Amino acid sequence: MARLAGVSLATASRVLGPAGTRRVGSELRHRVEKAARQLGYTPNLVARTLAHGASDVVGLIVHDLTDPYFAMLAGGVMRAAERRGLVVLISATRRDPEREIAHVATLRAQRARAIVLAGTRVTDDRLTGRLAAELERYRAAGGRAACVGRTVLPADTVVPDNHGGAARLARSLAALGHRRFAVLAGPPELMVVRERLAGFAEGLRDAGLPDPQVLYGDFDRDGGHALAERLLAEGTDATCVFAANDVMAVGALAALRARGVSVPADLSLAGFDDIPTSRDTVPALTTVRLPLEDMGERVLDLALDPDSAGEWRAERIPAEVIIRESTRDLR
């Protein structure tokens, strides 16, 4: 113990402890610091957490780190955490709501200072209810939480404008002269999917166009690939395809290419999210931009900052349509 090395005991805690209004004579302060350095002493954060109550780990629950959407989000959360001197415990749900609930429980047991939930929001009320209950216990134990997605959970939320973005995208596409659309959607149980789909349909209606043809599948690269093949197999009169997210669009692009369908000459394609690779696909992907890293930072801020009044806060994130080369101008 650095204590014995120095001379005093709990004084050490004051100088080595969390920066703050620690008043210690400079003489002793130096002695302690010196001793600590000599012994290579590092405070045991576990003990500190136990005694002091507040841990400096925050939990982040995502679907899959391998998906650029979540990787970017995680990057933002980690950046914000580092700025505050906190560390991030990441766990993946792989879209399994049960696993998400379990992870919240683990984080509670771990006494994480805050939990950020990203991307498994489903429409099943029973599941949502159980997750909410688990979160409630966590909060009751002094934890803070925030999530990104829809405001269905009892927590502050960063809510990307999925609906509005998709609607604006639809209108932009209509303005390019497209009249018939197909949507490669993820599983209908996913909130994001429903929002983007509804927004897109609404945008189409605004433009006086009929509802799109909709195909449901997995919300990932292979899902996009499979759906594009199905679209081709079933036949379509659409001139433009909207994939519910960019990774699906990337998969669709590959499938179309393999089948000899040229984008955008034969068929236009648009995605959603604006992950980094979407500007590097060929053709570059028209999409709806979400400031993923910023969202990550914001959601951690929300989780950590003192609650506002009674109601849960919802921070809307604007989504911006970006027209690139994958959508043909038919005019």
Position 265 contacts DNA (CB under 7 A): no
The tally of CA atoms less than 13 A away on the side-chain side of residue 268 is: 25
Cβ proximity to a copy of itself: between 91 and 236 the closer is 91
CB 62 within 8 A of CB 107: no
Position 314 contacts DNA (CB under 7 A): no
226 makes contact, choosing from a copy of itself, DNA, none, with CB < 5 to 8 Å by partner type, with none
Neighbours of 283 (CB within 10 A): 17
5 makes contact, choosing from DNA, a copy of itself, none, with CB < 5 to 8 Å by partner type, with none
The residue among 284, 263, 271 whose CA lies nearest residue 319 is 271
123 makes contact, choosing from DNA, a copy of itself, none, with CB < 5 to 8 Å by partner type, with none
Cβ proximity to a copy of itself: between 180 and 259 the closer is 259
Residues 6+ apart with CB under 8 A from 267: 238, 239, 240, 241, 256, 261
Which tokens belong to 178? 């497209």
Cβ proximity to a copy of itself: between 74 and 158 the closer is 74
309 φ/ψ angles, rounded to the nearest 5 degrees: -60, -150
CB 272 within 8 A of CB 116: no
Cβ proximity to DNA: between 52 and 316 the closer is 52
109 φ/ψ angles, rounded to the nearest 5 degrees: -60, -35
CB 220 within 8 A of CB 267: no
Which string of x and - marks every residue 26-65 that binds DNA (by CB under 7 A)? -xxx-------------xx--xx-xxx-------------
Tell me the DSSP string of 26-86: HHHHHHHHHHHHHHT----HHHHHHHHS--SEEEEEES-TTSHHHHHHHHHHHHHHHHTT-
Rounded CA separation 253/261 (Å)? 9
257 makes contact, choosing from DNA, a copy of itself, none, with CB < 5 to 8 Å by partner type, with a copy of itself
Cβ proximity to DNA: between 44 and 126 the closer is 44
Shortest distance, position 103 Cβ to a copy of itself, whole Å: 8
Cβ proximity to a copy of itself: between 8 and 110 the closer is 110
Residues in touch with a copy of itself (CB under 8 A): 40, 42-47, 49-50, 55, 57, 64-66, 68, 71-72, 74-75, 78, 82, 87-92, 105-106, 108-111, 137, 221, 250-251, 253-254, 257, 276-277, 279-282
Considering only 5, 14, 123, 127, the residue that binds DNA (CB under 7 A) is 14
Cβ proximity to a copy of itself: between 19 and 309 the closer is 19
Rounded CA separation 326/161 (Å)? 22
Cβ proximity to a copy of itself: between 50 and 314 the closer is 50
Shortest distance, position 287 Cβ to a copy of itself, whole Å: 15
CB 290 within 8 A of CB 99: no
9 makes contact, choosing from a copy of itself, DNA, none, with CB < 5 to 8 Å by partner type, with DNA
Shortest distance, position 295 Cβ to DNA, whole Å: 33
- What is the torsional sign of CA 252, 255, 258, 264? negative
Position 10 contacts DNA (CB under 7 A): yes
Amino acid identity of 93?
A: T
Would you tell me which residues interact with DNA (CB under 7 A)?
A: 1, 7-11, 13-14, 16-18, 23-25, 27-29, 43-44, 47-48, 50-52
